[in-house]
Amino acid sequence: MTDAALDLSGYDLVVDEQFDGDDLDDTRWLPHYTPHWSSREATRARFEVSGGTLKLRIDADTAPWSPEYDGEVRVSHLQTGQFSGPVGSPVGQHRFRAGLVVREAQDEERLWLPHFGVIEARARGIRHPSAMVALWPVGFEDQGANCGEICIFEIFGSEIGEASGLVGLGVKPQRDPRLVQDFEKVRVEGDLTQFHDYAVEWLPGRLRFFVDGRLVKTVEQSIDYPVQLMLDVYELPTDAPRDTSAHPLVFEVAHVREYRARAA
């Protein structure tokens, strides 16, 4: 881990999502997880905005979002765009496995689509063996190859210790043939169930990833198309029977921000 610090002196803050009201801003956030592969009803997020934070939640009675395509995975998720084809089409964002078919038609929505700059969030993980929390901008995918992922953080509850934990970050091509996988888990000191700052500086030829303002990874490639933010908590199945004694699983986010390079 390097001591290089995130320098925002050349950037302007253009979106400062503080979650300081009592509901989501629907001009930015769609509270559904890739609903084209399932339905709006089955993918509706459970959440609360209160006390200056967003709280995404999985409850004991939360059902799997798509048993057909994703088994017993449960999720509460927000995204900042939506694009997919007609019912029966294979066209849709986040084609996470082969054989996906649009099950419910969706309106196109372009809510908050950054393209270069800094994306930063302050959030806390969940120490539970089935939990995973993440912020992973992906291409809007109105053109099929524009689907790469910038993973700003991905934290599994099973990888959070008392004094440190693992944070996954980097680039995942998904189905973009112009990208190569450059993703790793870095160890971060401190209790990851407390608030930490996670950021990416997204430049035309390079991505730099930061935790608590310190550079932890550089990727010598980039994505040159708009992305939508994907913010979520998952409950992933394990070999053991589902244990709901610790529910609800609550993913708390204090803010999400976008900075753009200041014009010369």
Which domain CATH number covers 46?
2.60.120.200
| 167 found inside a domain | yes
Percent of the chain with pLDDT over 70: 99
What type of residue sits at position 218? Answer: T
Confidence of residue 45 (pLDDT cuts 50, 70, 90): very high
If one counts the domains in the chain, the total is: 1
Boundaries of domain holding 144:
11-261
Q: How far is CA 7 from CA 39, 64, 70, 261, in A?
A: 41, 41, 40, 11
CA distance 26 to 138: 19
- What pLDDT, on a 0 to 100 scale, did the predictor assign at position 80? 98
Confidence of residue 65 (pLDDT cuts 50, 70, 90): very high
CA distance 118 to 250: 26
What type of residue sits at position 158? Answer: S
Is 247 a residue whose pLDDT tops 60?
yes
CA distance 238 to 222: 34
Q: Which of 98, 115, 125, 102 is nearest to 40 (CA)?
A: 102
Contact between 204 and 220 (Cβ < 8 Å): no
**Predicted TM-score of the model (pTM):** 0.96
| 5 found inside a domain | no
| 3 found inside a domain | no
| 171 found inside a domain | yes
Contact between 210 and 217 (Cβ < 8 Å): no
Confidence of residue 1 (pLDDT cuts 50, 70, 90): very low
| 42 found inside a domain | yes
Phi, psi for 157 (deg, rounded to 5): -60, -30
CA distance 164 to 211: 13
| 1 found inside a domain | no
Confidence of residue 13 (pLDDT cuts 50, 70, 90): very high
Span 153-166, average pLDDT: 98
139-154 b/e (C-beta count within 10 Å ≥ 16 → b): bbbeeeebbbbbbbbb
Contact between 53 and 254 (Cβ < 8 Å): yes
- What pLDDT, on a 0 to 100 scale, did the predictor assign at position 59? 98
Confidence of residue 263 (pLDDT cuts 50, 70, 90): confident
Is 264 a residue whose pLDDT tops 80?
no
- What pLDDT, on a 0 to 100 scale, did the predictor assign at position 2? 56
Q: What is the pLDDT of residues 196-206, one digit of tens each?
A: 999 999 999 99
Tokens of 81: 């765009």
Q: How far is CA 193 from CA 69, 129, 223, 254, in A?
A: 30, 13, 30, 13
Contact between 163 and 194 (Cβ < 8 Å): no
What type of residue sits at position 165? Answer: G
